[in-house]
Amino acid sequence: MQAATKPSVAHEPAAHAERASSPPPAPGGSPVVQPGWLRVTHWINVLAVLVMITSGWRIYNASPLFDFRFANGITLGGWLGGALRWHFAAMWLLAANGLVYLLLNLASGRMARRFFPLSVKGILHDAFAALRGRLAHADPRHYNYVQRAAYLFAVLDLMLLIASGLAIWKPVQLGWLCDLFGGFQGARWVHFLAMSGLVAFIVVHVVMVALVPRTLRTMITGR
């Protein structure tokens, strides 16, 4: 989620600290922006999330929370049983891939460098700067405060989706988890709202990538 506009000098100490701890440029090439493990986990995550969302919409249609259903053409599975199979298959892929992503982020120190420090003041400052067209992104290795908040939200939202999904899947065996969400129906509400938040993030993320195409290149080639 990025904006390529006029330079901003805000938060320079944090930016300098991150650039100083970023991987050095490869010999004879441009600096590495996204390491290989991150690119692999990112695209696996894209596949798993796409399958889970579209199959989840088909599952939702079998017992909707609201007075609407998702069009069959944008759902996956064909029927409830088929959708459940796709959903459970993608669930394990998402959980395993997410665990690898989280552990590697923590072990490499990337999460600390890219997502923090984070403050409400910084988020508001960068959000207003973006609205005025004054938020820079000269170095793709550096996340501004809005990006940090958005990506951290996505990570936490996926964790909430997995937890609420497990509560829906095994409400008896994982009764304690189901109780944390206020029961089976409460877990369904949380799951739906978390899914909606993730879809909103994806829409904004794709729009930002379309506005700054080089970010797609870095997620494919690493540079």
pLDDT in tens, the chain (223 residues): 444 444 444 444 444 444 444 444 445 466 777 888 999 999 999 999 999 999 999 999 999 999 999 999 999 999 999 999 999 999 999 999 999 999 999 999 888 888 888 889 888 888 888 777 776 666 667 788 888 888 899 999 999 999 999 999 999 999 999 999 999 999 999 999 999 999 999 998 898 788 778 888 888 888 8
What per-residue confidence (pLDDT) applies to 54? 97
Six-digit token string for 10: 């805000």
Q: What local confidence, expressed as pLDDT, does residue 125 receive? A: 85
**Rounded distance, CA 48 to CA 86, Å?**
10
Chain center to CA of 95: 13
Rounded to whole angstroms, the Cα distance separating 177 from 180 reads: 5
Which H helix or E strand runs over 201?
Answer: helix 184-211
* Number of other residues whose CB lies within 10 A of the CB of residue 49: 22
pTM here is: 0.79
pLDDT in tens, 111-168: 888 888 888 988 888 888 877 777 666 666 778 888 888 889 999 999 999 999 999 9
DSSP E strands, the chain: none
pLDDT of residue 110: 87
Closest CA to 137 of 42, 11, 32: 11
User: What's the confidence (pLDDT) of residue 217?
Assistant: 87
Q: What backbone phi and psi angles, to 5 degrees, belong to 76?
A: -125, 140
pLDDT at 16: 43
Asked if 218 and 140 touch (Cβ cutoff 8 Å), the reply is yes
Domain segments of the chain: what residues?
A: 33-129, 144-222
